[in-house]
Amino acid sequence: MTDEHVINKGLEGVYFTESAICKVDGQAGRLYYRGYSIEELSKNSNFSEVTFLLLHGKLPNNREMLEFNQSMSKERDLPEGMISYIKENAQKMHPMDVLRTCVSMLPAYDAEAYDSSPEANFRKSVRIISKSASIVAAIGRARANKSYVAPDPSLGHAENFLYMLNGEKPRPEMVKILDIMLILHAEHSSNASTFGVIVAGSTLADLYAAITAGAAVLKGPLHGGADEAALSMMYNIGKPENTEKYIEDALAGRQKIMGFGHRVYKTYDPRARIIKGYLESLQTGNSEELKTLSQIAMRAEKLMIEKLGASKGIWPNIDFFSGPVYVSIGIPKELFTPLFAVARSSGWCAHMLEYWQNNRLLRPLEKYTGQLDLPYVEIGKR
Ligand SMILES: CC(C)(COP(=O)(O)OP(=O)(O)OC[C@H]1O[C@@H](n2cnc3c(N)ncnc32)[C@H](O)[C@@H]1OP(=O)(O)O)[C@@H](O)C(=O)NCCC(=O)NCCS
């Protein structure tokens, strides 16, 4: 090896593996899961079916869908110990911290936690994807000082989540919106958290350890935490007419506007386009809060595109319009990122299972810039 090290800061442009799960075309603004476009899936499918597609590489037939839904619903209930932990801690920490800890606790309740056969890992994937939704619903209940609602096995994944969160069956249009949000968040190739999952799993740590790592990576505002941060910004802006000055001042102060920019998309994120479409259709509703948020979002988007779209390739990403859409179905702001994790757990598991078929430890290099061969000086003489 020579001293000519090529450093790709932020690993930009670096390929580390092959994958047949997801294609992100950052120039054309297209996204595909297992060959199906995100537009096609969000229009026609639901989260369970997309999860099956990600894990198995094909869409299920009727029998496979039925069996998969049954296996998901069987895994939904939470152990007593975890419910108590959530009650005790949900108001003390950010929900992402509670979720991450709960995922990390799951081996305590799983007899096959350390069985790393592909079959056991597949069953654990279903367990994680299913239970993470119940964990987030339980966190939401505990933060609102309400008691745990047990899952209803007759309900689909999105419907059951809203039922466990609110204690009542949701309206079908709420279920539809949540299903679409879950589909849009389910997968995105080698994003930071998926890479984090694979780094952990490449050491042959178990699936729970790998997914815990993913939850830790997702939390940050440069990644999954951007949805919560973008909505906080909209609340800080307060009134639609304040939008332009707020954004101009923030950019002048070299602040980043959350929900804009992407490492791969140098054009409009197709997921943001779909979510914006839903937000536009919601504007006709009669919630003043929602109308205000929508107007702020639209004005901010217009200004950002004018200023940074073509010139710097900074466009809205999935996290910008998500907040107001979640508000429309009554999801509290601190649950946005945990809900992102609930959806992304599908992609995380699919990638981990795929990578383990041909595992190699991930271990990049860093270029050392410090000194060498320094003499050791006794502590009293320094
Ligand atoms: C997503 C993100 C981390 C990608 O980062 P990246 O590829 O490493 O790009 P950088 O952070 O190096 O940014 C490159 C340039 O664009 C600017 N930029 C990037 N995102 C910006 C944003 N949201 N608002 C304002 N400027 C932004 C940077 O300030 C930098 O400008 P400079 O060249 O003058 O220094 C970045 O766009 C960002 O921080 N966005 C906000 C957080 C967010 O929405 N994350 C969710 C992503 S799905």
Chain segment 287-330, per-residue pLDDT in tens: 888 999 999 999 999 999 999 998 999 999 999 999 999 999 99
Place of tokens 């729970």: 208
Looking at the predicted structure, is the pLDDT value of residue 93 above 90?
yes
Model-level pTM greater than 0.85? Answer: yes
Q: What is the mean pLDDT of residues 71-88?
A: 97
Task: Sheet containing 30-33: give its strands across.
Answer: 22-25, 30-33, 36-37
Alpha carbon distance 170, 152 (integer Å): 12
Domain boundaries, the chain: 22-220+341-356, 226-328
* DSSP conformation class of 376: P
Which band of pLDDT confidence, cut at 50, 70 and 90, is reported for residue 148?
very high
Q: What is the mean pLDDT of residues 369-375?
A: 97
In testing the pocket of ligand 1, which one of 222, 318, 321 has its CB within 8 Å of the most ligand atoms?
Answer: 222
Place of tokens 């009650």: 87
Q: Counting atoms of ligand 1 from 1, which one is nearest the CA of 320?
A: 44
Ligand 1 midpoint to CA 235 (Å):
21
**Which H/E stretch holds residue 236?**
helix 226-237
Active site residue 25: no
Active site residue 262: yes
Amino acid type, 278: Y
Alpha carbon distance 146, 81 (integer Å): 17
CB 225 near ligand 1, within 6 Å:
no
Which band of pLDDT confidence, cut at 50, 70 and 90, is reported for residue 285?
low
Alpha carbon distance 281, 174 (integer Å): 13
Which band of pLDDT confidence, cut at 50, 70 and 90, is reported for residue 364?
very high
Helix and strand totals (H; E) in the chain: 17, 3
Q: Counting atoms of ligand 1 from 1, which one is nearest the CA of 263?
A: 7
- Yes or no: say if 268 and 29 are a contact pair by the CB < 8 Å rule: yes
215-253 tens-digit pLDDT: 999 999 999 999 999 999 999 999 999 999 999 999 999
Does this chain's domain 22-220+341-356 share its CATH topology with 226-328? Answer: no
- Yes or no: say if 81 and 110 are a contact pair by the CB < 8 Å rule: no
Looking at the predicted structure, is the pLDDT value of residue 2 above 60?
no
- Yes or no: say if 186 and 51 are a contact pair by the CB < 8 Å rule: yes
Nearest residue (by CA) to ligand 1, atom 33, is 312
pLDDT of residue 206: 97
Pick the CATH number of 22-220+341-356 from 3.40.47.10, 1.10.580.10, 3.30.450.20, 1.10.1670.40: 1.10.580.10
Alpha carbon distance 211, 345 (integer Å): 7
pLDDT of residue 281: 81
- Architecture of the structural domain at 226-328: Orthogonal Bundle (1.10)
CB 248 near ligand 1, within 6 Å:
no
Alpha carbon distance 131, 250 (integer Å): 39
Question: Which residues make beta-bridge pairs with 382?
Answer: none
Instruction: Give the β-pairing of 30-33 and 22-25.
Output: antiparallel
CB 226 near ligand 1, within 6 Å:
yes
Instruction: Return the structure tokens found at 155.
Output: 């309900």
pLDDT of residue 284: 58
Place of tokens 């975890």: 82
CB 266 near ligand 1, within 6 Å:
no
Nearest residue (by CA) to ligand 1, atom 47, is 223
Q: Counting atoms of ligand 1 from 1, which one is nearest the CA of 317?
A: 48
pLDDT of residue 283: 61
